[in-house]
Amino acid sequence: MKTELQLQIQDMIKRGTTTVGLICDGGVVLASEKRATMGSFIASKAAKKIYQVDDRIGITTAGVVGDAQALVRIISVEAKLYRIRRQEPITVRGITTLLSNVLSAQRIYPYIVQLLVGGIDRKGAHIYSIDPFGGNTAERDIAATGSGSPIAYGVLEDRYSRDMSIDEGIALAVQSLHSAMKRDSASGEEIEAVAITKDKYEEVSEDKIKSIRATFN
């Protein structure tokens, strides 16, 4: 049974944002819209919700912006320290374990965030979903967070295939966000996306995203 605090945090996370993650043939796609809300007020139309924390690992954020940015700073530093000490990059699982430990240690004054961590390491492509109290779930193929996630899931589950290419994954991620933005008032404006493969972490160009969205109008 959830406590009153847990229910309040869950409600705050669900007030705004839609982010998605997909495992594709050869990599991972992460995407998000850019609207930030405070109740019914649109606080920003260009909010950044995807952050690179290591060479081949990214995080999408839903919830309180300040909390998300603080966590990104902490984990980015830890990833760099790990590389210096071990002379090898940290695994995606390692990043999520660190995040889980930080969040679990802050149960009294929690970080009000829900995160998707996606990337490539020596064991392949991975996506993990992490809740505000450190709960860590390995997602097998797709994941979505935020108030528009039920709508995004409808598109993802209907059209997703594990063997789709990175480009197909980008198109599907954009389509799922496009649909969510049409029905969820807390999701809107532009879309940002990244494609992570064993060779690079790449931000998808605005022109490419616009050309994909144009096919859905």
Mean pLDDT for 92-116 is 92
Range of the domain at 57: 4-214
Residue 139 exposure: Cα atoms within 13 Å on the Cβ side: 22
In sign, the C-alpha dihedral spanning 127, 72, 122, 120 is: positive
Adjacent-strand bridge partners of 192: 32
Q: What is the tens place of the pLDDT at every residue in 174-200? A: 999 999 999 887 788 899 999 999 999
Q: Structure tokens of 202?
A: 């790449």
User: In this structure, what CATH number is given to the domain that contains residue 141?
Assistant: 3.60.20.10
Q: Closest Cα partner for 20 from 183, 157, 121, 123?
A: 157
Inter-axis angle of helices 206-214 and 166-183, nearest 10: 70
As a whole-number percent, the residues of the chain with pLDDT over 90 amount to 69
HSE-up of 85 (CA within 13 Å, CB side)? Answer: 7
More confident residue, 181 or 12: 181
Please check the confidence at residue 169 and state whether its pLDDT lies above 80.
yes
Report how far residue 88's alpha carbon sits from residue 35's, in angstroms, rounded to the nearest whole number: 36
- Whole-number pLDDT of residue 6: 52
Average pLDDT for the chain? 89
pLDDT of residue 185: 79
pLDDT 10s digits, 64-86: 888 999 999 999 999 999 999 99
pLDDT > 70? residue 214: yes
Per-residue pLDDT for 209 more than 80? yes
Which two structure tokens, joined as six digits, stand for 21?
């993650």
Cβ atoms within 10 Å, residue 216: 11
Asked whether 49 and 192 are in contact (CB, 8 A), the reply is: yes
Report CA-CA distances (Å) from 139 to 28, 90, 143, 161. 12, 19, 7, 14
- Positions marked catalytic: 17
Whole-prediction pTM value?
0.90
What end-to-end distance do the CA atoms of the chain give, in Å?
Answer: 43
**What percent of the chain is predicted at pLDDT more than 70?**
92
Domain tally for the chain? Answer: 1
Token pair listed for 75: 């984990």
pLDDT higher than threshold 50 for residue 14: no
Cα 4 to Cα 11, 134, 136, distances in angstroms: 11, 17, 21
